[in-house]
Amino acid sequence: MKAVPGRKTDVRDAEWIADLLQHGLLKASFIPSAPQRELRELTRYRVRLTEERAREVNRLQKTLEDTNLKWGDVVSDIMGKASRMTLQAIVDGETDPAQLAAFALGRVRATQEQLEAALTGHVDDHHRFLLGEYLTQIEHLERAIERVTAEIARRFTPPPSPEEEASSQQKQEALAEREGEAPPPSPDATLNWAEAVVLLCSIAGISERAAYGILAEIGIKMQQFPTAAHLASWAGVCPGNHESAGKRLSGKTRKGNPWLRRLLVQVAHAAARQKQGYLAAQYRRIASRRGVKRAAMAVAHSILIIIYHMLNTHTSYQERGETFFDEQERQATEKRLVRQLTRLGYQVELQPLAQVG
């Protein structure tokens, strides 16, 4: 679409684009359906509410530090039940550290002496006013988050129509007569939002809330993406393709959907915290060589590819196990481990378990 320098104008560009469109040489953009756009607005609004609540909690913590109350050092959650009771007592005017510590005693792991030391400070009237405003605002945001979450859940679980109820009852009766397992769903069958959430939750690291956000961004029909690679490129979780004169330059990821990208990275970190599993093994394998950030992005890319194929085939996640990579490189793994034991002064002879018995 580039023109000769000096002859490029907006009018010429518009004419060229119109000419391409007339001959069918432009690809259509992905425009989500109206229900999906509504879900996007709800899930993104919930993210903003959660961020605002975190900011209010940080402001509360800053005010506590200003009063020399080291309450965050002795409690795991500054907005937990015991902590809120203590903070409300401070707002109401209580200044005795022993009385304040009594609200949390038995609910936190800290001792009485540690609680009293953390609650010894200098609290002025303006501190109490600010703490009260912070607590009120946090409670307001939490109620708003609950309402938005309930609305999202309601939209993901629509009431079944009479035809769907009759069809479901017929299927149950047929299964009861056969007394066998149900056949796998056909790829041509229609997948609803609730079933898609169940499929995504079968992946390690994806919670119900994360599944809501991911599906709101990509939808449940993958026909708009020709391949899984197109979806990964659209989301911005695949390596960059910057090449010039046959030389590979920066592989920095491109700018894609920031909302989806954030969710996938969060899910990748959650999957990496598991002790076992294919995704956790992939994360540790890459993090040891390339760093944790690149490893998280690589796992996020793998998760999105898995989601694409699951939504296409209507099948749940099949765990490959943490030894998948070792099985792929069995000979290299054997040589590496033998070399390590040899360096430690051992003579190693590999023998299969079947021959040992």
- Domain span at residue 311? 188-239+252-323
Q: Give yes or no: residues 109 and 207 share one domain.
A: no
Whether 205 contacts 268, CB under 8 Å: yes
* Single pTM value for the model: 0.78
User: Is residue 122 in a domain?
Assistant: yes
Same domain, 147 and 193: no
Domain co-membership, 92 together with 132: yes
Q: How many whole angstroms separate alpha carbon 284 and alpha carbon 325?
A: 11
* pLDDT in single tens digits along all 357 residues of the chain: 566 777 778 888 899 899 999 999 988 888 888 989 999 999 999 999 999 999 999 999 999 999 999 888 888 888 888 889 999 999 998 888 888 888 876 667 788 888 889 888 899 999 999 999 999 999 999 999 999 999 999 998 866 656 655 665 565 555 555 544 444 544 445 788 899 999 999 998 999 999 999 999 999 988 889 999 999 999 988 887 777 777 777 777 888 899 999 999 999 999 999 888 899 999 999 999 989 999 999 999 999 999 999 999 888 898 888 888 877 778 888 888 899 999 999 988 888 876 544
Q: Is residue 355 part of a domain?
A: no
Residue 245 in any domain: the answer is: no
Question: Would you say residue 215 lies in a domain?
Answer: yes
Same domain, 319 and 192: yes
Residue 93 lies in a domain: yes
> Which of the 8 DSSP states describes residue 53?
H
Specify whether 149 is located in the same domain as 210. no
List CB contacts of 295: < 8 A, sequence separation 6 or more.
272, 282, 283, 284, 285, 286, 287
Structural domain count, the chain: 2
Residues 221 and 319 in one domain: yes
Same domain, yes or no, for 287 and 206?
A: yes
Domain boundary among 104, 135, 156: 156
Quick check: is 11 in a domain? no
